Amino acid sequence: MAEKVLMKGNEALAEAAIRCGCKRFFGYPITPQTEVAAYMAKRLPKIGGTYMQAESEISAINMVYGAASAGVRAMTSSSSPGISLKTEGISYLIGSDLPCLIINVMRGGPGLGGIQPSQSDYWQATKAPGHGDGHILVFAPSTIQEMVDLVFDAFDLAETYRMPAMILADGMLGQMMEPVVFPEKEVVEHEKPWAANGHQGKREHNIINSLYLKPDELERTNRERFARYEIIKEKEARVEEYLTEDADIIVVAYGATSRIVRAAVKAAREQGIKAGMVRPITVWPFPAKAVAKAAETASRMLCVEMSLGQMVEDVRLAVNGKVPVEFYGRTGGIIPTPAEVLEQIKKIAGGAK
């Protein structure tokens, strides 16, 4: 049986990536994700990989662009202000249909913000990971075990759909320790006939490019990419439902916040309030169907985030006015307590009577 080990979230992310066959890491130090880089710097040279500390976040993501173009598994890791710098490169990765893994261990913003946990990059990750029409896969783990499991899925789906994938974690998940079991499964990297790795005189030259000067070609390319997104929305949206079956009040939360909400929902149940939780595991694609379904049976919904309200917009779009969707959030690095969330649930429950 696989061994259970106690690991810090950031280090578990790094180890999971290595076990996925990712031997190319390009990064730049930033709190609270630096342990990902430090772990890679220690491990990768021992196994024939490359850890490289780039001169900037911009260079790091462009090194990923080069490695991904070569057809190898590559990744970078950063935290909020660093991800802003990477958005140029992310847009080019989208436009060139390149798979890679990007980790965002979110901290408070905007600007330099703070270094405590936050979920205030939801909009950036899900709506505008770079300029232009385009998306990346965004996974939102809530435990260290799930971070590990989702790294495997992120690499696999990034290659399946030829697009970047992001693990959207936060400073709390990155810095905490939990027991984790690494999956003992064989990792199969996808064939990459498109890679620019030298034609060896055996094929026409491959071109990795995002420039289309003819508007009809660019529109066609973008439409093809969006057709792929529709398949992804249909097949890859993931959600966990907790005590939703008979729930009158459904709380929607993702990532570290969902751990707090889970405790609050349990406490509400103990006080006779029929509360439940819907937890998006993918935030792009957003599990709109599952959220809409929850709205059919609940009378009220509450979205809780470590931001001033970002995912709540997707929740309201999914619910489409069927039930009222309230919001509660803390930001700037403040983590809401179960008691605060319980109070919100009770307030809503009272209002429903």
Partner 1 sequence: MAVVYEKPHALTDAVLHYCPGCTHGIIHKLVAEAIDELGCEGKTVGVAPVGCAVMAYDYFRCDMLEAAHGRAPAVATGLKRSLPDRVIFTYQGDGDLAAIGTAETVHAATRGENITIIFVNNCIYGMTGGQMAPTTLPGQVTQTTPYGRDVKLAGYPIRVCEMLSTLDGTYYAERVSVDCVPNIRKAKAAIKKAFQNQIDGKGFSIVEVLSSCPTNWGLTPVEALQWLRDNMIPYYPLGVYKDKDKEADNNG
The site for partner 1 (CB under 8 A) is made up of 24, 26, 50, 52, 54-56, 58-60, 62-72, 74, 88-89, 92, 96, 196-202, 205-211
Q: Which two tokens stand for residue 295?
A: 């709205």
**251: Cα separation from own chain's centroid:** 20
Under DSSP, is residue 76 helix (H, G, I), strand (E, B) or coil?
Answer: strand
Q: In angstroms, give the least distance from the CB of 127 to partner 1.
A: 21
Hey, how many other C-beta atoms are within 10 angstroms of the C-beta on 41?
A: 15
Q: Which two tokens stand for residue 12?
A: 């578990």
Q: In angstroms, give the least distance from the CB of 92 to partner 1.
A: 5
Task: Name which of 59 and 331 has its Cβ closer to partner 1.
Answer: 59
Task: Name which of 85 and 335 has its Cβ closer to partner 1.
Answer: 85
**C-alpha–C-alpha distance, residues 270 and 278, integer Å:** 19
Q: In angstroms, give the least distance from the CB of 43 to partner 1.
A: 16
**C-alpha–C-alpha distance, residues 17 and 74, integer Å:** 9
Task: Name which of 20 and 140 has its Cβ closer to partner 1.
Answer: 20
Virtual torsion, Cα 173, 176, 178, 182, nearest 10 deg: 50
Task: Name which of 66 and 332 has its Cβ closer to partner 1.
Answer: 66
Nearest to 285 by CA among 140, 86, 73, 107: 140
**C-alpha–C-alpha distance, residues 111 and 106, integer Å:** 13
Task: Name which of 89 and 113 has its Cβ closer to partner 1.
Answer: 89
Q: In angstroms, give the least distance from the CB of 101 to partner 1.
A: 14
Q: In angstroms, give the least distance from the CB of 112 to partner 1.
A: 20
Q: In angstroms, give the least distance from the CB of 93 to partner 1.
A: 10
Please state whether beta strands 239-242 and 275-280 pair in parallel, antiparallel, or not at all (unpaired).
antiparallel
Task: Name which of 94 and 172 has its Cβ closer to partner 1.
Answer: 94
